[in-house]
Structures are given as structure tokens and as C-alpha cells.
Amino acid sequence: MAVSPEPIFFGPTERALFGWLHRPPPGRALGAGLVICNPFGNEALCAHRTIRHLSARAADAGFAVLRFDYDGTGDSAGHSFEAERPAAWIASIHSAADTLKETAGVGRLYLAGFRLGATLAALARVARSDVRGLVAIAPVVSGGAYVRELGLLQRALDARRDVLHRGNPNYLESAGFLLTAQTQASLKEINLTRLPRAPCERVLILDRAEMPVDLALVPALRALGGAVDRVAVRGYTEMMLDPHESVVPEQILAAALRWLENQERGTAPLTPGPPAALAAAPRSRATLDSPAAVDPATGTEPRVAVEETLVQFGGAALLFGVVSAPAGSDRVPNGASAVVLLNAGAVHHVGPNRLYVALARHLARLGHTVLRMDIAGIGDSEPRAGEPDNTVYSRTALPDAREGLDFLRREYGARDVRAVGLCSGAYHAFKGAVARLPLDAAVIVNPLTFFWKEGMSLAYPKHRVATDIMRYRTNAFSVASWRKLLSGDVDLRQLSQVLSRHLLSAAAVPIHAAARAFGLPLPDDLRTELKQVAGAGIGLQFVFSDGDPGFELLRQQGGGSVPRMQARDELTVSVIPEADHTFTDLKARAELIDVLTRKIQAPVRGAQATP
């Protein structure tokens, strides 16, 4: 029988680290432990699902497993602008290893790491004598090459967005994650081919079959006396796709587990000893003091400590979330709002670019209580029985959102509760308002649709049409665009497809107006839904990136209802310039947090009276 993993805080009281402890089923424990080390930044978001699967399978095979977030990442304390990041990350690995040994009573210890996590694990192992083996999955060999790779990635993203690369001497921002100049310098000093001694007596390198790591690594480690196995496996590229597309790499997981089990073969299983008394035992609540450096995403904040609590709730599925609140308060302070943050796509509850963590802690310092939660099957929440995991537009999302709203009202006495979501989370927040869930306002950030149908094709959805129409409307005044059209450099088939779909949408407007005039029911009618929400006294607060397709969809499908509702203060619209869909750039992210803070602190006109 599988044992449910335990969410825990561990490590220094003033700098809590977050992790998941996976214990083996009764009678199957090997007396061995596995610490799993995340990759950095966006790769950690993409690989989260894979790491969760690896942890569950390793526990089922008899290992006690701890997967965790380094200091300043994920749900752990701190942020990326603080000093000595690589040293703090390595210290986090030591703390995780010690915690696993002491809480699970294991006698043998293994480390496994993905990308930069494999490199950090190797460096941590050099300072330890209790690690039996290391699994390095596509390790970063040269820190200098890795920093250059992150810079090239950002340039590629900028080029795709038609943004001129804006270099900053103080930090490198790659796919929404920051490395300060000091952190870059520390990383550039790392090279696994120049270690003082073998990182481990037994090392498995799982290499990307399509793009091997530096082949000098294996002989370099063997020269230091390590027994090194290298296996080329497929699946890395698919694992690192965006979270909603990410595929669990069966070859990588099977190879890692087979090697770990082989290391244990012939070793007498040990009965785990009783957990030792820890100076800082695993806990479900942690007080996070103000960080040593100001987080530029939130700016100068009140010097107020935040208390975070790990919670699991729900009926049909065990849902997971983290509650951020002013320290010492078990109830929402008078006059403050409670907020539920809903998943953006398949990104787990930390949010794209760790946006939700920064926002939640910022709001908590201002007196609000915030639950960042995973809906069933996303992130760290279990899927409902018979349902697949990683389904973004889940048919059970609204019941899950209700569970979060009810939890805040029941456990924290919340009276003013607001749902905030980005992308698919925006859709669920809006539909929650339409369904009259117990909320006072929905803050809807960059929705890509207002009407999702199960099985709907993503090949050419309405938001793509809206995006292309906005681009064509802008290019209509460009001489260069007309030259491309006349010279045959424009895909006329695609152009005609976009225009025909747009004309069909436009033609539906008078038909819907006539149907409403005669009181006929209309399917998928945004104007009707906006009116229903206003009638329920639920505030609607839209936020869009400049040029995001959701703005065009609201304008097209909402029609004249939108300005009329704005005039009555039933609906607000804010636009953030120079921002992409997930607010990848630090400047856009800081402005978004500022806008969301003002919306959450503003009273909602005509808000429904809720118990």
C-alpha cells in the first residue's frame, strides 16, 4: 500500500526549506534514502512532474525520498537577489540529506540531481562521507558554459517576441529567473572535470542521447577513483517542454531506479531506526523573516514577518496548498482580503517565474491571507479517482476552487475572498464567478478563452485568431507588410483562414443581439455571463499584457457590455505594457504585482454578502 507523501518545512528556523518526504510502504523499506536535487529556474518548473513521479516510484521500491526546494527557490525562504546563492543551494542539499537521515532513520544515502541540481549534488558530496551513490541526469559540467547557455536562451526568447535584448550588468534574466552578477561569477568557477576528488565512489551519468554532455567528464571522474557508469537515454527534451506539455521520461526514470536498486542488491535491508531528535524538526508551519535583500519584483516592503502553513484539504481529492499570512495571525485580519491563487496552466503552485510566491508573501506583509493551491492532478495535488494528471482545463477545477475558498472561510474566518488566476487560472476564476462560487471578486489575468470545451483543439483556437487579427490590424499601416503581401511572401491560406474565422465571429454578434432581444437562451455568450456575475455582486477585475489575445476576445465577445459595466464600476480593465503572456521580464512582473495589489486592496462595489 502506497504511503502518501508528507509536505514539510525543515532546516534553519529563520530560513525554512520546503520539501516532500516520501516514505516507503510498510515492509518494503530498504533502509536507504534518496535526496533529489532540482534543476534551476524554468527547468525546475518543467521537470516538477517528472521529479514527483521519480520520488513516488523510488519510495515504492523501498527508498525513503526527500525532494525539496533550495534556499531562495520554490516554496523555500528567500529569493534570487540575495547573496551567495550557489553556496546557499549546496547548504540546502546538506540540510536535506541530514533531515532525511534523521527523520527516516536511513543508514545509506544516495543523491540524484537534474542538470544544475546534479552539479550541486556532486559538489555537496565532495564534502560528505555518507553518500553511497550519485545519479547525475544531464549534469552541467562547466558553470561558465551554463551561464552562456542561459544568456543565449534569453536572447532567443527576446527574438521570438521581437524584443531587443536589454542587458543589465546587475543580473541575467533567463526565462523569468534571475542570476545576479555575483551568482554568475560563482557558477563560472564550477567545472566538474576539475574536482579535488571523486564526487562519489559510484556515479551514474544519464546522458541525453540527442545531446551528450562533455565527454571529458567520465574519464576525469574515473581518474579520481570513481566507478562511473554512463548511459545514453531518451526523453530529456520531452521532459523539459512547458509544464502542460511535459512528458514523464520513462527511460530516464527506469534507468535511474534500476541503477539504484542494483547498488542495493546484495546489501542486507536495514530496519529504519527511530527518528532522531532534531534541533529543527520537520514542521508544517514556518515563520519567514524579511529577506536580507529587497526582492525587486515587490520593491520595498514593510518589515513584517510572514507565516506560511502547509495545508492539505478537499474531499474527492487530496489538494495541496501553502497559506501565507501575517505572522502570529490564525484568522484574516479585519478589513483584509483573503486570496486564492489558481494554477497558471500546469505550473505548480509557485506560479510562472515564481510569481505566486512573490505575490503571496508581498500581500501577506500587507495584512492579507493568501492560499496558493494546486487543483486536482496539477502540481502536488492528487488527481481525482479515474482522472488523468496534468489536465489544465479540468472539469473538476471549479469544485477544487470551491474547496480552496471554503477552506479559507472555514479555517481562517475569511469574509472577503477573491480568486486570482493567470491563463487557465484566469478562466477558472472567471467561471467560478459565473457559477457564483462563494467569492467577492475574480481577478482575471490574461485568459486565453472564455469558453472551453473538453477535447477542444489547440491547433487554431480563438485566441490564436484574436492574436493574428491584432497583428494584421497593426500591419495594415506598414509599407513593409504590404510589400511582403504583393511579393507573395505572406501565407495567403493562413490569412484567409484567420479572416474567415474572424468574420464568422463578427457575424455572430448581431445574431446574438437579436436572440437576446427575444429572450432566447444563448450558448457561450460572454455578455450574458458578464451580466450574471454583475447581478451576483461579484467584482470582475481584468488584467492584460499589452497585445495579449484575451483583451481582443473580451472586446469582441463582450461588446458594449464591457464599457457599460466599467462605467458602473462592475468591471475594471488594466493593461500592462511591454509584457508577455506570463510576465517573464522582471519589470513587467513588478508592475503586475503592483496592479494586483491595488485591485485586491480596493473594495468591491456591490460585493455579495457572504457568511
Distance (Å, whole) CA 524 – CA 528: 9
| Helix, coil or strand: residue 75 | coil
- Domain 6-141+197-264 carries which CATH code? 3.40.50.1820
Q: CA–CA separation, 611 vs 413, rounded Å?
A: 9
Q: Residue 594: count other Cβ atoms within 10 Å of its Cβ.
A: 15
* Alpha carbon distance 206, 350 (integer Å): 28
Q: To which H or E segment does residue 571 belong?
A: strand 571-576
* Residue 444: all three cell numbers together: 482575471
Q: Angle at which helices 492-517 and 549-558 pack, to 10 degrees?
A: 40
The reported pLDDT for the residue numbered 526 is 96
Rounded average pLDDT over 485-497? 51
Q: Contact 549/464 with Cβ under 8 angstroms?
A: yes
Give the integer Cα–Cα distance in Å for 501 and 463. Answer: 11
Label residue 101 by pLDDT band (50, 70, 90). very high
d(CA 399, CA 421): 15
pLDDT for residue 475 is more than 70: no
What is the reported pTM?
A: 0.88
Q: Are 470 and 552 in contact (CB under 8 A)?
A: yes
Per the CB < 8 A criterion, the answer to whether 393 and 427 are in contact is yes
Under a CB-based contact definition with an 8 Å cutoff, are residues 33 and 106 in contact?
Answer: yes
Q: Is 330 helix (H, G, I), strand (E, B) or coil?
A: coil
Q: Could you give the CA distance from residue 558 to residue 208 in angstroms, rounded to a whole number? A: 48
Distance of CA 414 to the CA centre of its chain: 26
Q: How far apart are CA 111 and CA 203, in angstroms?
A: 10
The candidate with the shortest Cα–Cα distance to 45, out of 355, 288, 287, is: 355
Considering the domain 294-451+524-601, what is its CATH architecture? 3-Layer(aba) Sandwich (3.40)
Distance CA 35, CA 64 (A): 9
The per-residue pLDDT of the chain, averaged, comes to 87
Express each pLDDT in 559-611 by its tens digit. 999 999 999 999 999 999 999 999 999 999 999 999 999 999 998 865 543 33
Burial class (CB in 10 A: 0-12, 13-18, 19+), 480: exposed
Task: State pLDDT tens for residues 130-188.
Answer: 999 999 999 999 999 999 999 998 888 777 766 655 667 788 999 999 999 999 999 99
Alpha-carbon gap, residue 389 to 256, rounded angstroms: 23
Three-state SS string over 86-128 comes to: HHHHHHHHHHHHHHHHHHHCCCEEEEEEECHHHHHHHHHHHCC
Asked if 6-141+197-264 and 294-451+524-601 have one fold, the answer is: yes
User: How sure is the predictor about 495, in pLDDT bands with cuts at 50, 70 and 90?
Assistant: very low
pLDDT confidence of residue 460: 41
pLDDT band at 499; cut points 50, 70, 90: very low
How far apart are the C-alpha atoms of 96 and 182, rounded to whole Å? Answer: 25
Domain extent listing, the chain: 6-141+197-264, 143-189, 294-451+524-601, 457-523
Do 69 and 75 touch, CB atoms closer than 8 A?
yes
Q: Are 371 and 356 in contact (CB under 8 A)?
A: no
- Phi then psi for residue 508, to 5 deg, are -70, -20
